[in-house]
Structure 1
Amino acid sequence: MSTNTNSTEKFSNLNLSKDFLSNLDSLGFDKMTEIQEKALPALLEKKDVIAQAKTGSGKTVAFSIPIVHKLDVKRFRIQSIVLAPTRELANQIAIEIRKLSRHIHNVKVLTLCGGVAYRPQVSSLFHGAHIIVGTPGRILKHINEENINLNEVDTLVLDEADKMLDMGFTEDITKIINVLPKNRQSLLFSATYQENIDTLASFVTTNPINVKNENEEKTVIEQKLYEVESSSKTSLIPALISSNKAKSVLIFCNTKIQCDELSNNLYDLGLDVLTLHSDLEQKQRDETIIFFSNKSYPILIATDVASRGLHIDDIDLVINYDIARDLETHTHRIGRTARAGKGGLAISLYNNYEDEDKIEDIKKSFDDVKFERAEYISDDLEYKIDSDYRTLFINGGKKQKVRAGDILGALTAGVGLAKDDIGKINSLDFCSYVAVKKEVVKKALDGLSNGRIKGKYFKIYEK
C-alpha cells in the first residue's frame, strides 16, 4: 500500500457504497495518491484511461477500485481481466483485489500464470471466476485450448504495459484482445510512455483519458558508483552494508547463476540471504517475497524479476552487483529504495572496461551521481545486519477458513503477545505466514503449536 500522497482528496468523496468505503478505511486508505485522484473519477465513469505511473504510486488500487465497484457478484462469469508481465506482480494484484473486495461475499479472483501447474488452473476455470489476473502467455494458452470464456468481460487492464512489450508479449496481448468483447472499458498503466506504447494504446483503448503522475520523480535517491575489479565485488558487500547501517538490502545481479553464486558466498561470510529468480518454483518465490517483505530476512539477491512490480517497502539500500543491461532497468532497480515517497541509497559496482558505455548513460541521465573510491569505505566491524522478525509457517490457509484476523486473535488473546510483537500476516490458499518479533518467536511457536486457531489444531513451523 502506498502512503505517499500529494493530494488532499479523500476516498470518501468518491461515489462508492458505504460498505466499500468502510472497507477502504479498514485497510488504512484515507487520502488518495496523485494517480488515484487523477484517474479514479474517469475510471468510475467507465471511461478508457491511459495512465503513466510507476510502481509504488498506488496504481494497483486505482484500477482495482472500479473493477470491484462495478462487479456483479451474482453474475458468476468472468467480468474483468488484468494482464501483468510477471507471476509475482499478477499474484500481488490478485491479493490487492481480494482485499478491496472483502466487503462482498463470494468474490472469486483467479490467477493464471506460467511456471505453475496447468491442470489445476483448468479445473478452477471450469468452476468459474469473476476476475482473472495473469500473464499473457498462460492466458492465451487457456484461450487456445478453450478453457476460458471471456464473452462477458467488461473491463481489461494492462498493467506495466511497457514491461510486457519489452518482454515480447505484443503478439500474445493482441490475440487476447481480439477475442474480448469490443464494448468494454480498457485501462492501460505504464511506467514509461514510448512510441510502442502509443501504438498499443490506440489499438486497446477508445477515446481514452490520459493521466500522468507529475510529482513521482521528486523522491531523492542518492546514487554512488564504485569502480571495482570483478573479483573484489563480493568482499565489498559487507562493508557497504555496515558503513551505511542498512537493515534491508536488495542486491541485483544480471543472471540466475550469479545470484546463486553470490548467495553462497555471502552466506559463507555469515550473512542471512534470500535469492529470487525465475528458476525457483512458484512456492519458493512466494515464500521468498513474503520473508523479505515481512522483514524476516535482511538481504535479497535477485535478478530483474524484482526490479518492478513487487510491493516491498522500506528497502534502505539497493546494490547493483552487476550494472543493469539498459538505463530503464537501472532506473527501476534504484527506484526500489524510494517507495512510499521515501528517499534511499543506491550503490552500483562497475568495471570500467566492461561497463564504460552503461556508466556514461547513467552519468548523462542523473545529475547527482557520486563516484566514490572503494578503499575509502569505512567498514564497521561492530555492525551486524539482522532482522527484527522471524516467520512462522501455519499449515492452514483460506481453504481451511483461516484468515489473518484469526491468526492475530490466536497470538494476542490466545498466546498473550502484544499487537506490536506481530508483523505482517499472509494468508494463502493452503498455508499462512506470520512475522513475529524474534524475542517472542519461541513463545509464539509454542503457543500456537499447543493452541487452536478457529477451534482447530494446525502444524506450526519456524521458517
Structure 2
Amino acid sequence: MQFSSLEIKKEILEALDTLEYKNMTKVQDLSLLHTLEKKDVIVQSKTGSGKTLAFAIPVVNLLDIKKYRIQTLILAPTRELANQIADEIKKICRFIPNIKVLTLCGGVPFKPQVASLEHGAHIVVGTVGRVMQHIYETKIDLSSIENFVLDEADKMLDMGFYEDILKIVEVLPKQRQTMLFSATYEENIKELANSVLTNPLYIKNEEVHKQDSIEQKFYKVEESSKLESLLRLISYYKMESILIFCSTKVMCNELADDLSDAGVDTLLLHSDLDQKQRDETVVLFSNGSYPILIATDIVSRGIDITDIKYVINYNIPKDETIYTHRIGRTARGEANGVSITLYSEEENYKVKPIKEKFSDIEFNDIYNLEVDKISLPKPVFRTMMILGGKKQKLRAGDILGSLTADIGLKKEDVGKINILDFVSYVAIKSEVFEATFNKLQKRKIKGKYFKLYEK
C-alpha cells in the first residue's frame, strides 16, 4: 500500500512525500490501519523494518495541536534511539506548525529539561530512568496522555526496567492508546503486555526472523592470533564500512589501540562517551570519514546507521538474542549485508544456541582465506565541523552553495551534511579536503563567517 491511501492529515502526507516515503514497509502496512483507529497493538518486528513510522504517523495524526499538554509519551531503551525517534517525528511534523517534541534522556543535563517542560510540549520521547526522575522530581504532568508507546520493549526488559515501566504506567490515564513494539515476543513481553495494554491486537511481521539478506559466517580462531585473523578478514573481503562489536569497553579500547598500531584510524562508541561525543561519532562513521566503528552492545539496539555492509563480532555475544540484534545493524531495510563472528574452541558453548536458532550459518577456516598482502581500508571522506547549526538558521543548502558556487567544488566532492543544533558536519572527499578547508575559512556562509574545525 501507499501512504497516500491512508486517511491522515494532508500535512503528514506532504511531509512523507518530500521525504520520498511512498510505499509502506510490511510492518507499516500491517499496523497503520489499526493504530490510526486508536487500537492497542503489540507489534513484533525486527529493527530496520520501518516501525518508527508505524507509531509516529498515528501519534501525530491524532494530536490536538491547540491542546498544549503532553499527549504522547514514547519510551525507548537508549538515548540514541530516543533521539532518532524524535527526529523522525519532527520530520513528519515539518508542515504542521507549533508542534513541540521534547526528548528526556539521561547523559545530558537535567535542569535544561526541567526548563523545557515548564514551557510545555505535545510529545515526549524519553528513556525510562530519566522519565522516572522527572515524575518524582519535577512532577511532570502526564494526565493528558492519550498515546503511550513502548519501542524495543524487549531491550528495556533486558535492561531491567520492568518494574519502572509499571510505575510510569501507574501515573498515566487508564483511557489511552498503547502501542508496544518488540523484536521478540517471549514470556516477559507477554507479561508486560498483559499489564499495560487493553485487548491488544497482536501483529507479527513474518520477516521478523528472516535473515536471508544477511550472510552469516563463523570463523574459529586462536585467541592469541585474533587480531591477525581480523586483519586477514578485512583484507580478504576488501571491507570498507565495518562495525565491530566487543563485549566490554576495555576490549574496545584495546582493539582500537591495536588497529591504530596497524595503521587504521577507528572510532569508539561506548557508555563512557557523553551525548555530544556519541552524536559526533555516529556522524563521522556514517558519512564515511572513518571506515571502522568499534562498539559495545550499546549500539546493537538503538543506533540506525545505514550502509553498514559488514558487522564483525570480535567477541562472540553471550546469547543468541544479543547476536540477533548485533547482526541486525547490517542489511537495513532492503539492503544486504554480511556478519562475521570470531570464536575460539573454548567458546563453542556460546555457538551452539546461535547455531540452533539460525540454520544458515556458514562455518569456515580462517586459514583457507588466501591473502597475499594485508590491505586496510582508507576513508573516502574527511569531515569539517562548522561552528553553526539549526539555532543559527544554517541549512544544508547554504553550506552546499558555498562549497560549489563560491569555492567551485563538484557536487560529488561533497558527502553527507549533518546539521545539529549548534554545529554542522560536512563530509568532503579526502583528496580535496585541505584545499577546501583553507578556502572556506576565508569565505562567508549565508553572509557570515563561521569557525571551522577538522575532525
TM-score normalized with structure 2 length: 0.95
1:399/1:429 contact within 8 Å kept:
yes
Q: How many residues align?
A: 454
1:268 aligns with 2:261: yes
Q: Could you tell me how far apart the structure 2 residues matched to 1:135 and 1:145 are? A: 16
Q: Which residue is 2:35 aligned to? A: 43
Q: How far is the alpha carbon of 1:284 from its aligned partner?
A: 1.0
Q: Could you tell me how far apart the structure 1 residues matched to 2:432 and 2:72 are? A: 43
- Structure 2 counterpart of 1:433, one-letter code: Y
1:340 aligns with 2:336: no
Q: Which residue is 2:324 aligned to? A: 331
Q: Give a deviation string over 1:160-213, Cα, whole Å, max 9, x none.
A: 000000100111111111111112111100000011111111222222222121
Q: Which residue is 2:88 aligned to? A: 96
Going from structure 1 to structure 2, the CA distance change for 1:209 and 1:446 (only over 3 Å counts) comes to farther
Q: How far is the alpha carbon of 1:434 from its aligned partner?
A: 2.1
1:118 aligns with 2:114: no
Q: Which residue is 2:289 aligned to? A: 296
1:244 aligns with 2:254: no
Going from structure 1 to structure 2, the CA distance change for 1:348 and 1:14 (only over 3 Å counts) comes to same
Q: Which residue is 1:58 aligned to? A: 50
Q: Could you tell me how far apart the structure 2 residues matched to 1:261 and 1:41 are? A: 49
- Structure 2 counterpart of 1:325, one-letter code: K
Q: How far is the alpha carbon of 1:382 from its aligned partner?
A: 6.7
- Structure 2 counterpart of 1:341, one-letter code: E
Q: Could you tell me how far apart the structure 2 residues matched to 1:179 and 1:414 are? A: 56
Cα-Cα RMSD: 1.7
Going from structure 1 to structure 2, the CA distance change for 1:210 and 1:422 (only over 3 Å counts) comes to farther
Q: Could you tell me how far apart the structure 1 residues matched to 2:396 and 2:71 are? A: 27
Q: How far is the alpha carbon of 1:443 from its aligned partner?
A: 4.7
Give ranges in structure 2 of 5+ residues lacking alignment: none
Q: How far is the alpha carbon of 1:306 from its aligned partner?
A: 1.2
Q: Give a deviation string over 1:213-262, Cα, whole Å, max 9, x none.
A: 11341533222222222221112222111100111111111001100111
Q: How far is the alpha carbon of 1:425 from its aligned partner?
A: 2.2
- 3-state SS of paired residue (2:445): coil
- 3-state SS of paired residue (2:377): coil
Q: Could you tell me how far apart the structure 2 residues matched to 1:380 and 1:180 are? A: 63
Q: How far is the alpha carbon of 1:88 from its aligned partner?
A: 1.0
Q: How far is the alpha carbon of 1:73 from its aligned partner?
A: 2.9
- 3-state SS of paired residue (2:175): coil
- Structure 1 counterpart of 2:369, one-letter code: I
Give 1:169-208 correspondences, 5 Å limit. Answer: 169-208=161-200
Which piece of structure 1 moves more, 216-225 or 33-42?
Answer: 216-225
- Structure 1 counterpart of 2:315, one-letter code: D
- Structure 2 counterpart of 1:214, one-letter code: E
2:221/2:344 contact within 8 Å kept:
yes
Q: How far is the alpha carbon of 1:446 from its aligned partner?
A: 3.7
Going from structure 1 to structure 2, the CA distance change for 1:277 and 1:36 (only over 3 Å counts) comes to same
- 3-state SS of paired residue (1:360): helix
Going from structure 1 to structure 2, the CA distance change for 1:248 and 1:402 (only over 3 Å counts) comes to same
Q: Could you tell me how far apart the structure 2 residues matched to 1:15 and 1:375 are? A: 58
- 3-state SS of paired residue (1:76): coil
- 3-state SS of paired residue (2:124): strand
- 3-state SS of paired residue (2:453): strand
Give 1:295-314 correspondences, 5 Å limit. Answer: 295-314=288-307
Q: Could you tell me how far apart the structure 1 residues matched to 2:204 and 2:400 are? A: 39
Which piece of structure 1 moves more, 309-318 or 364-373?
Answer: 364-373
1:286 alignment partner, one of 279, 288, 305:
279
Q: Could you tell me how far apart the structure 2 residues matched to 1:411 and 1:10 are? A: 37
Q: How far is the alpha carbon of 1:426 from its aligned partner?
A: 1.9
1:226 aligns with 2:207: no
Give 1:362-377 correspondences, 5 Å limit. Answer: 362-377=354-369
Give 1:134-213 correspondences, 5 Å limit. Answer: 134-213=126-205
Q: Which residue is 1:78 aligned to? A: 70
Q: How far is the alpha carbon of 1:147 from its aligned partner?
A: 4.4
Q: Which residue is 1:387 aligned to? A: 379
Q: Which consecutive segments of 4 or more residues in structure 1 shift more than 6 A? A: none
Q: Could you tell me how far apart the structure 2 residues matched to 1:31 and 1:267 are? A: 44
- 3-state SS of paired residue (2:178): strand
Q: Could you tell me how far apart the structure 1 residues matched to 2:14 and 2:410 are? A: 26
2:388 alignment partner, one of 391, 396, 399:
396
Going from structure 1 to structure 2, the CA distance change for 1:411 and 1:73 (only over 3 Å counts) comes to farther
1:357 aligns with 2:349: yes
Q: How far is the alpha carbon of 1:369 from its aligned partner?
A: 1.9
Q: Which residue is 1:6 aligned to? A: none
Q: Give a deviation string over 1:373-421, Cα, whole Å, max 9, x none.
A: 2222223527441222222211112222223343334334444434333
Going from structure 1 to structure 2, the CA distance change for 1:244 and 1:432 (only over 3 Å counts) comes to same
1:126/1:147 contact within 8 Å kept:
no
Q: Which residue is 1:5 aligned to? A: none
1:219/1:342 contact within 8 Å kept:
no
Q: How far is the alpha carbon of 1:447 from its aligned partner?
A: 4.6
